[in-house]
Amino acid sequence: MIPNMWYVILASREVKAGRMVAVRRFGEKLVAWRTPEGALSLLADQCPHRGVAFSGKSEAHDRAALTRNLATGGPAAARIQDGCLVCPFHGFAFDTVGKCRAIPANGKTAEPPRGFKAKSYPVREANGFIYAWYGETREEYPPIPWFEAIGPGYSVTTFFDPWATHYSRGLENQLDVVHLPFVHHNTIGRGNATLVHGPVVRLEPRPGGHDLMNLWVRNEKDRGQPPLRAAELPVPERHPFLQFLFPNLWHNWITDKLRLVGAFVPVDEGHMMLYLQTHQKFLTAPLLRGPVDLMLRYMNLVIERQDKRIVETQAPKRSDLKGGEQLIPGDGPIIEYRRRRQSLIDAARRSP
C-alpha cells in the first residue's frame, strides 16, 4: 500500500441512505454508512467501548462475505439513528467522523469524553465512486484523482468482481501488453500480434503523488522483424491507449466515445475487488442506451474473467520492485509502475 493517498474503495450506489455496508479494505474490517440525509461515513468495524463489531459479524463468519460488500442489518448490527451509528451492544452513538455523541449509561444530559472516538477514514464521492484516504490525517487533502480526458455526457454502467490476489497484481495486468494474444486470443487479442514494440510510457507528476502514467501500445504480427525499444519509437501524436492514476485507477481510451475505467480496490494481502465502469456516448437515446450498456457490460465481464483465472495463479500474491521475476522490455509499463510505487512508499516512510 502507498500511504497518504485517495483510494477508490466502493461504488457510490452500494451505500444507500440510511443503510450500512460491511467491507474489508486495506486489510481491515470497515463499515460504510449513510445518514438518511445522505451524509457518508467510513468507520472501523469495531466499537471503541468494548470492541464489538458494528456490522454484527464475526471475523470467522464473514471474511468471505466481506469481499462481496455485505449489506448488514438486524438485531446484532448497529442501527442508524439521528445521524449517528448506534452500537448494538451498549447503545453508544457515533457521528459520521467517529466522534461519540451519546453514552446512554451516563444519562441523556451527559457529554461523552472529548477523546472518545471510533476510528474513522476521510471519505469523498466523485465519478460514481467512494474514495477513502489511507494515511495520516491532514488539515488539507490533495484533489481526488480522476482522468481529465473523461468529461460529462457519457452513459455509465458499473459492475464489480472479487479477485483472490493482491490489488497490485490486478492493476499490473492492465499495464501488461504482452499477454493480449494469449489470454485474450478470441476477444481483444485476436490477430496474433505477439511482437511488442516499446511500449512508450510517459509519467506526469500530479498533486499528492497521484501521478498519471500514459501508455502507447504498438503490437504486431511477428514476421521475423526485431521489436523496437521505446527509445527507438517516434513521439506519439495521438492520445494514449492506456492511462493509470496512482494509486488504483486505470483508463482504457478505446475511442473518444467509448472508455473503460477500472478501480483495483485493496481488500487484504490476498484479495482485491475490481470495479469496472463503461463510459459510452455513441448511443445515448433512452430506448437504446440500456441495451447497449448491458451488451458492453457482458463483453467486459467475458474479458475480465479471462484475466482473472490467470492472474489469480500468480505467486507471490503481491508484486514488488525486487520480486525475483525475470522481466523483458515489453514489461516496461509494469517496471515503471513498480519503480514509482516504491519511490512513493519510500518517500512516505522518510516523511516526519
Residue 65 reports pLDDT greater than 80: no
The sign of the CA dihedral 179, 182, 186, 189 is: positive
Write the CB contacts of 145 (distance below 8 Å, at least 6 apart in sequence): 6, 206, 210, 245, 246, 249
77 alpha carbon, distance to own chain's centre: 26
CB neighbour list of residue 58: distance below 8 Å, 6 or more residues apart: none
- Asked if pLDDT for residue 216 goes beyond 90, the answer is yes
> Measured between alpha carbons, how far is 164 from 245 in angstroms, rounded to an integer?
23
**d(Cα 204, Cα 38) in Å, to the nearest integer?**
35
Rounded CA-CA distance 260/263 in Å is 10
DSSP label of 248: T
All domains of the chain in start order, with CATH: 5-134 (2.102.10.10), 155-350 (3.90.380.10)
Nine-digit cell string for 309: 483465472
What is the predicted pLDDT for the residue at 350? 83
| Residue range 83-119, pLDDT digits in tens | 999 999 999 999 999 999 999 999 989 999 988 999 9
pLDDT (0 to 100) of residue 118: 96
Q: How far is CA 30 from each of CA 70, 160, 304, 338, rounded to the nearest angstrom? A: 11, 18, 27, 28
Cell 452513538, residue? 93
Candidate from 5-9, 288-292, 323-327 with smallest mean pLDDT: 288-292
pLDDT at 324 over 90: no
pLDDT at residue 61 above 80?
no
Provide the 8-state DSSP code for 82: T
Q: Which of 80, 78, 19 is nearest to 47 (CA)?
A: 78
The confidence score (pLDDT) of residue 64 equals 56
pTM: 0.92
Mean pLDDT of 80-84: 94
